[in-house]
Structure 1
Amino acid sequence: MSSALSGLCRYPIVQAPMAGGASRPELAAAVSDAGGLGFLAGGYKTTDGMYHEIKRLRALTPRAFGVNLFMPQPALADPAAVATYRGQLAGEAAWYETPLPEDPSEGSTDDAYEAKVAILLDDPVPVVSFTFGCPTPEVLAAFARVGTRTVVTVTSADEARTAQRAGAVAVCVQGIEAGGHQGTHRDDPEADGSGFGLLALVAQVREAVALPILAAGGLMRGEQIAAVLAAGAEAAQLGTAFLVCPESGAAAVHKKALTDPLFTRTELTRAFSGRPARGLVNRFLREHGPYAPAAYPQVHHLTAGLRRAAAAAGDPQGMALWAGQGHRLARTMPAGQLVEVLVAELAEARARRD
């Protein structure tokens, strides 16, 4: 096992922290019990909500697990652009009979980051990862003092260098194939869609820093895990592969859509949150994606009610159907069984290579 995860899990398989409800304690526990590393998503939760999920997870498994935090975001949104987008969504609000917030900028832009850090330092967990930026050296050092290993999500070699200088234990290298939000440290609209594929990015980061690498992005099979390990990663992080498991908290309509022939491709979009995120191309994405401003988390707050209403109505055309490029390879089986299948496929791929 890698120096970053040594002693924490039996296999080089990490379940991605998927914010929005998918990464429930039941899912993380099943993955950790099977020999992988399960993760909770701290993003979009209150501090109490995160704390109680950690308590539930500890009651479900004695195994190691991780918690992911969103980094605070700078106030860069153009209020006029957000107001224009709000006007464009008036038809959606009428259709789903859901009012839009008058001022989405009133929602949190820091996701209660400082309070969540304080909780995790007071009651440490084995691993904490960070998305949308890099913590200060002081925060990373504080986690090191309490025995927590830290992982910073990166999408470029420069971001990996930043993480190394700050004192991260490892980096999660996220290729552009990944489902959900791109974990870029700085949201640059001019760079939309210009990220690197996972194998190319792993090679670049491996040459740039001396940190262990967790590879993420479109991974669905043991053969792909073997490929990223051969490229220099020390573990693979999978999200979409676990999204369809019964332990996942994703909506049933979302799980079904991943392999529904109606949804043929994914695309990076700002339509649902104001930040680039990869999801299945549906009506909402097609109609609103081209006009969504670079305004995270304001657009997230603006569309939250619409997305909840669409899910409640069982309407996949109005939901954020986050999915990686390998979504059609999703297999509906218990999470522990999926870990076993992936481990067997990995062993077979290695045997063929040898």
Structure 2
Amino acid sequence: MKISIARPRDLADSERARWRELQKADRALDNPFLSVEFAVAMDRLRDYVRVAVVEDAGKIVGFFPYERHGFGVGKPLGGFLTTCHGLIAEQGVQLDAKALLRACKLNVYDFDHMVAGQPTFAPYESDVRPAPVMDFTAGFEAWLEQVKANSPKNLKTVRYKERKLGREQGELRLEWASADPEVLRTLLAWKSDQYRRTGRVDRFAQPWIVELTEQMHAERSTDFAGVLTMLYSGDVPVAGHFGLRTATTLVGWFPAYDTEFARYSPGIVHHLQMAEAAAAAGLLMVDMGKGGKEYKDWLKSGTLHVSEGRISRPSPAAAVHWMGRVPLNKVRTIVLDRPSLYKAADRVLKGYGRMRSALQHEPAVKETTGAR
């Protein structure tokens, strides 16, 4: 097989069409983070984005998008921002993974949301994790029945809060696929506040991530689009979500809500209404991503699987990278896999977030003459 390296932006129309064809031919690749549109958008914003084009007997059989960082360190496209990566290829295609790295000029490649079981990467998988999904293949009502079976108490509580929110704050209305950039800015402001409040790094403090989100919001084609949903109580926005979709799958990305309405659990109320709107729009699945929140367990009606692993070629850079990354990855996996540890870590981060917020709002001490 022949492997050539290009920038996604430089792919010809015929190559982009082939990428879409390969993606649609394999249900396991039905994820917008694997779409050529996402790769091209990332390439506009990041100089280190590349794609390996794989040919066999003159025919393109695969695409491998990646990021090439210093010292030949390879990362999945979008890194920590994305929840799915892999080789977009004909089913059954298997490459020599180390030969692929050599062609990409990579010494090491870490992955943690790889489409599980891909022949090229399966030998290097160190762990496989479930990613819960809302599956509407049998219809919205069938999904809702599964949610009820998962936890009738949770569903009853959320429906009660939903009615209470509408009664006390104004009739509820969900806007699906809002094109209003001001609505997006409102959502991102909530999300930034959530990151800071819970002790996380504010992703939207990085201008390129804001620009990427805005570009994705402007994408509106049959095969790929940004989807912004917002739940209103009366005329007031209370909770929303921004994600990406293919023709049939929406991927969860940035959910957030106005904390003024926290007593009504507006985030979960929004998710229930978003699920109904997604099914009505013809989508077959909402991928909620692996790990994290308990609400995913009772909203799910199926699972996908993603894998973690590492490929390296013998080199000093790969050895240094292993010493710095592997222990951290193992700790993170252990924490995410154990609800009690996850809750404890979450409490620590939230405490840090409250302390950081308090310090940021504390009046500055005035300097006196001779003060240092």
Query: Which TM-score bucket, shorter chain as reference?
Result: 0.3 to 0.5
Q: Which has the higher helix share?
A: 2
TM-score (norm 2): 0.32
Q: Which has the higher strand share?
A: 2
TM-score (norm 1): 0.33
Q: Which has the larger radius of gyration?
A: 2
